[in-house]
């Protein structure tokens, strides 16, 4: 014992003898040493194998989810149950059986394409134009009854980014819902072989060019859900109708084709069992893609010294951005040149951190053909960092592929085949939950009082049984998905088991269902929304790739740099960051026009590249990113303002104009011609006295969004166009506990002009008197509009607050409502499960009986541009601004932006003529352009903010306090007028309470006065 005590005492003395500094140093040294040691044991390879072959072709019956139309899954099972034979033959359909608009080589528009086609084909097949007015019908003759696969020759007619979409009907009906919208692929290549640099030396992704030509496509599921080609049941005398959905096309030969069963990997290996493994190694950077199916698949910079393209200071584009390559059907193709014939291995330096703890899948094709079953949907497991994905088989051995000496193509296509059953089953359960919820709501008239007794068991005797059945199905689904993960409880699918538990709990006391709708179908954490979120995640398959490696017996490079190199590079980058800050605000230089831009860096890079290449003005244009537009005020006060400001909010030019800080654009030659490109009502906010001090750069739109599937299911066959029709619709919606949405509901507290103006302008009301010295919001017309605006909530029970219309719309709680551009982009790019189930229409309006017109006035303000009054280069500033807002430049910028970064980068230019060339469905474009004819913004006057606030306060009093509209607005007028006179006095329009200067207020009725030039 004494010995042990002595040892402890000695240790205490040693510890006491060590200073605090030494303890800290020793601790840091220990952890650094541990970090260095562990860095040498860092994981570099991913060799997990996920078996997907059985999942790919596992088809299970589901209910027909969309308007009663069959899904391809159900149709395929029906084919098999009825023993309808698959006719696996190559047959060219006789041209004499085609009925459509034929074009010839003499056609002035399409003649060259026809000549090219006929020179390539041995058969003398005709060419037909497919557009909104012309379809192609083919009568089938001399064939045996059975299932046929269809292939189509087609030629694209433009460079627009939209997918080519057609529908195929048999005898006038779509045989399955997916046949309503079929995609014919495009091939996109980079516009330049080498990426250009911006003026700061950072790489800019090149634009995209579509390779126009004749292509043959075998009709298949572009969304990546079904692994095989679509089969159509045909017999003699049937008619195949190919119709336009989106994008005009030329159609050539239509044929039936023969398919080959994909070999197993074992069968494939036997063919090459005597071929040796090559010792060659080929590494291809992700950026060196030969082509891609969509220009939205883009690159980003991954700053790791181990990458094939890297620079310490400059940004090098070297990695595919995962969120741009996540939708089914998106594919990239790489070209490799092999010197020696032999067997090769395949690997990818990748990262997959989008789908948590679950894999995503890619179909791997060699020379446009899947060589064996393993490659039909190969898994890329979840990983937080970059690893080498070695392609292995179920035994963990490297998969071998045979390549002849020469050039080959490797294509990776995003697919979700193994998740198909889960996606369809979840969609089915969600549909059945929604159906039950609607029936229960109709029975209870929307009641959800937890203290009221409901006899759900009697009226819906199967409800409890159905819920337990859904729970059991979800448990089975969870177990089948869990097998694909390398963790026992993958977080990505946890909502499935959670939903099953919740369904069982609700089923235990089914009579309480009306009071548990928030848990069942309606709330943000309801079963329906938990399942919807999971389904959405399973439908996306984002993947980042830095390189593709084709190799033999060579070792793979580490997918990361060693710790010493990493530390050295980080220190260098830190030092260099003090000398290089691209697009930051800088001092003016000689012969340089300074332009501050309130847009993200991606926009600025393309803008600057376009300026450097195409702008031929006298001065050099330098763009600087404006991180905060309020900085303009400080810059102006300090005498350091730019010459031009772009992308500022639409109310800012007026605030600068009234303080003599921005220039009147009417004084410049070419103004009158330029503003013809804009909606008249969009010009209103930029007017001050006789001048116009800004131009709209982008323009918002407010339109009606509606769910076609839900409205059809409750018997609503017409989208309401007027407020009276909406009032008639609301009781129908609310009987199912659904509702209508208007923008007032999305704002907490202040209800801005963007939400209230439609109710004032549509009824003929005004915000201000003609001289601008007082508000006019208590006139008869405005009171009528304000009364409706409040009664929609007090009498017709619209929801007073909706946190997110998009979420409520997506999950079917609010199937119709008014929203803007942001909702449009989300629905187009994110809500994949709603594809084909929603549409847009014009903003609801006020029907004028005398004229028969529906007046649909709505705001449209977004961002704007202006010239600062302190500029020494007035004419040069105008030359640049007028160039930037011209139709040609705006159309090119919008096209380049989407071609470079994808559909989410939608440029809603205010130039109406440029917008008419945008790559969006024609039907949607027409709705937006028609709505912009009713664009009308709020004019600005001193004190207008108080009018905005008091209209909001009046609405609050009417809705929450039951105030009389006249009394509420009279009080709003009193408070507003006091503030207006105060501000008018501040700016010299009123002296001692008496107006001394005129202030004419612009409106949609007198706007033409300001749309002309002045000397």
What pLDDT was estimated at residue 152? 96
Lowest mean pLDDT among 254-258, 652-656, 825-829, 975-979: 825-829
Q: Are 59 and 227 in contact (CB under 8 A)?
A: no
Tokens of 965: 């509209």
What confidence category does residue 925 fall into, taking pLDDT thresholds of 50, 70 and 90? Answer: very high
Contacts of 213 (CB under 8 A, 6+ apart): 116, 155
What pLDDT was estimated at residue 413? 96
Q: Which residue did the predictor score with more confidence, 568 or 583?
A: 568
Q: Please report, rounded to a whole number, the percentage of residues in the chain having pLDDT higher than 70.
A: 93
Query: Positive or negative CA dihedral for 449, 453, 455, 457?
Result: positive
What pLDDT was estimated at residue 207? 78
In what helix (H) or strand (E) does residue 14 lie, and over which residues does it extend? Answer: helix 2-17
- Determine the Cα angle at 619 with ends 613 and 623, to 5°: 65
What confidence category does residue 577 fall into, taking pLDDT thresholds of 50, 70 and 90? Answer: low
419-429 pLDDT per residue, tens: 999 999 998 89
Give me the chain's average pLDDT, please: 89
Please say if the pLDDT value at position 124 is more than 80: no
Question: In which residue are the tokens 């088989």 written?
Answer: 393
- Over range 797-808, report the average pLDDT: 86
Contacts of 67 (CB under 8 A, 6+ apart): 177, 708, 709, 712, 713
Contacts of 376 (CB under 8 A, 6+ apart): 52, 53, 56, 227, 262, 363, 370, 417
What confidence category does residue 576 fall into, taking pLDDT thresholds of 50, 70 and 90? Answer: low
- Over range 992-1002, report the average pLDDT: 88
How far is it, in rounded angstroms, from Cα 169 to Cα 480?
A: 35
How far is it, in rounded angstroms, from Cα 418 to Cα 373?
A: 13
Please say if the pLDDT value at position 351 is more than 90: yes
892-921 pLDDT per residue, tens: 999 888 877 877 889 999 999 999 988 888
Nearest to 655, CA basis, from 987, 977, 911: 987
How far is it, in rounded angstroms, from Cα 249 to Cα 157?
A: 6
Q: Are 187 and 291 in contact (CB under 8 A)?
A: yes
Q: Which residue did the predictor score with more confidence, 635 or 15?
A: 635
What pLDDT was estimated at residue 617? 86
């Amino acid at each position: 014992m004494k010995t042990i005590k002595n040892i402890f005492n000695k240790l205490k003395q040693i510890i006491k003898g060590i200073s605090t500094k030494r303890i800290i140093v020793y601790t840091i040294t220990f952890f650094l040493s541990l970090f260095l040691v562990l860095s040498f044991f860092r994981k570099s390879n991913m060799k997990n194998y996920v078996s997907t072959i059985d999942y790919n072709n596992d088809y299970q019956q589901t209910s027909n989810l969309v308007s009663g139309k069959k899904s391809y899954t159900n149709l395929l099972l029906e084919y098999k149950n009825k023993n309808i034979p698959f006719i696996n033959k190559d047959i060219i359909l006789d041209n004499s059986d085609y009925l459509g608009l034929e074009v010839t080589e003499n056609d002035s528009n399409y003649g060259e394409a026809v000549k090219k086609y006929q020179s390539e084909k041995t058969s003398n097949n005709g060419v037909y134009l497919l557009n909104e007015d012309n379809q192609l019908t083919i009568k089938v003759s001399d064939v045996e009854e059975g299932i046929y696969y269809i292939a189509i020759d087609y030629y694209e007619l433009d460079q627009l980014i939209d997918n080519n979409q057609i529908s195929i009907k048999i005898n006038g009906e779509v045989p399955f819902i997916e046949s309503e919208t079929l995609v014919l692929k495009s091939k996109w290549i980079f516009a330049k072989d080498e990426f250009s640099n911006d003026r700061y030396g950072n790489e800019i992704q090149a634009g995209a060019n579509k390779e126009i030509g004749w292509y043959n496509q075998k009709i298949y599921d572009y969304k990546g859900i079904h692994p095989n080609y679509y089969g159509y049941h045909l017999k003699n005398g049937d008619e195949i109708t190919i119709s336009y959905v989106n994008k005009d096309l030329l159609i050539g030969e239509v044929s039936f084709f023969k398919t080959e069963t994909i070999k197993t990997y074992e069968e494939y290996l036997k063919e090459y069992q005597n071929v040796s493994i090559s010792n060659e190694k080929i590494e291809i950077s992700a950026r060196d893609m030969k082509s891609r199916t969509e220009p939205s698949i883009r690159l980003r910079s991954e700053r790791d010294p181990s990458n094939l393209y890297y620079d310490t200071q400059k940004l090098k584009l070297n990695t595919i951005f995962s969120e741009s390559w996540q939708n089914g059907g998106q594919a990239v193709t790489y070209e490799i040149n092999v010197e020696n014939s032999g067997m090769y291995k395949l690997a990818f330096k990748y990262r997959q951190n989008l789908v948590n703890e679950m894999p995503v899948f890619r179909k791997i094709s060699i020379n446009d053909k899947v060589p064996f079953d393993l490659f039909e949907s190969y898994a890329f497991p979840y990983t937080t960092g970059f690893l080498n994905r070695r392609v292995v088989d179920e035994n963990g051995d490297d998969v071998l592929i045979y390549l002849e000496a020469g050039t080959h193509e490797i294509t990776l296509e995003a697919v979700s085949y193994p998740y198909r059953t889960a996606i369809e089953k979840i969609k089915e359960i969600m549909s059945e939950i929604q159906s039950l919820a609607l029936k229960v709501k109709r029975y209870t008239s929307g009641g959800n009082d937890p203290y009221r007794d409901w006899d759900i068991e009697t009226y819906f005797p199967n409800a409890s049984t159905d819920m337990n059945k859904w729970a059991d199905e979800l448990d089975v689904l969870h177990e089948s998905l869990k097998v694909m993960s390398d963790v026992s409880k993958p977080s990505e699918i946890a909502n499935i088991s959670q939903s099953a538990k919740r369904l069982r709990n609700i089923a235990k006391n089914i009579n309480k269902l009306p009071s548990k709708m928030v848990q069942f179908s309606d709330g943000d954490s309801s079963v329906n929304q938990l399942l919807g979120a999971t389904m959405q995640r399973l439908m996306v398959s984002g993947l980042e790739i830095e390189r593709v490696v084709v190799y033999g017996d060579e070792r793979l490079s580490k997918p990361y740099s060693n710790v010493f190199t990493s530390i050295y590079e980080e220190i260098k980058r830190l030092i260099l960051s003090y000398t290089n800050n691209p697009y930051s605000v800088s001092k003016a230089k000689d012969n340089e026009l300074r332009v501050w831009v309130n847009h993200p860096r991606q926009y600025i890079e393309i803008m600057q590249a376009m300026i450097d290449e195409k702008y031929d003005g006298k001065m050099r244009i330098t763009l600087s990113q404006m991180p905060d537009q309020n900085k303009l005020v400080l810059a102006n006060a300090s005498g350091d303002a730019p010459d031009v400001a772009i992308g500022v909010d639409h109310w800012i030019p007026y605030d600068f104009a009234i303080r003599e800080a921005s220039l009147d654009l009417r004084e410049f030659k070419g103004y009158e011609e330029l503003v013809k490109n804009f909606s008249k009502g969009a010009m209103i906010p930029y007017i001050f006295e006789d001048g116009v001090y800004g131009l709209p750069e982008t323009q918002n739109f407010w339109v009606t969004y509606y769910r076609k599937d839900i409205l059809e299911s409750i018997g609503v066959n017409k989208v309401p166009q007027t407020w009276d029709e909406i009032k008639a619709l609301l009781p129908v919606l609310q009987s199912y506990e659904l509702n209508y949405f208007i923008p007032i509901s999305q704002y907490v507290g202040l209800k801005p002009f963007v939400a209230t103006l439609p109710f004032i302008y549509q009824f003929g009301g005004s915000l201000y008197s003609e001289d601008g010295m007082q508000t006019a919001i208590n006139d008869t017309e405005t009171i009528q509009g304000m009364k409706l605006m409040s009664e929609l909530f007090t009498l017709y029970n619209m929801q007073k607050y909706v946190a997110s219309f998009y979420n409520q719309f997506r999950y079917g709680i609010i199937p119709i409502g008014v929203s803007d551009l942001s909702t449009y982009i989300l629905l187009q790019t994110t809500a994949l499960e709603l594809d084909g189930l929603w549409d847009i229409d014009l903003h609801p309006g006020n029907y004028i009986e005398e004229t028969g017109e529906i007046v649909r006035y709505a705001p449209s303000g977004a961002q704007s541009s202006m010239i600062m009054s302190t500029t020494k280069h007035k004419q040069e500033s105008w030359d640049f601004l007028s160039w930037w807002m011209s139709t040609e430049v705006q159309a090119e910028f919008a096209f380049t932006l989407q071609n470079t970064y994808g559909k989410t980068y939608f440029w809603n230019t205010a130039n109406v003529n440029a917008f008419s060339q945008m790559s969006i469905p024609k039907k949607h474009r027409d709705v937006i352009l028609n709505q912009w004819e009713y664009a009308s913004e709020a004019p600005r006057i001193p004190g207008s903010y108080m009018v905005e606030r008091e209209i909001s306060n009046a609405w609050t009093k009417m809705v929450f306090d039951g105030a009389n509209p006249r009394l509420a607005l009279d009080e709003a007028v009193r408070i507003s007028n006091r503030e207006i006179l105060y501000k008018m006095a501040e700016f010299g329009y009123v002296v001692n309470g008496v107006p001394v200067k005129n202030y004419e207020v612009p409106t949609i009725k007198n706007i033409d006065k300001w749309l002309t030039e002045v000397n």
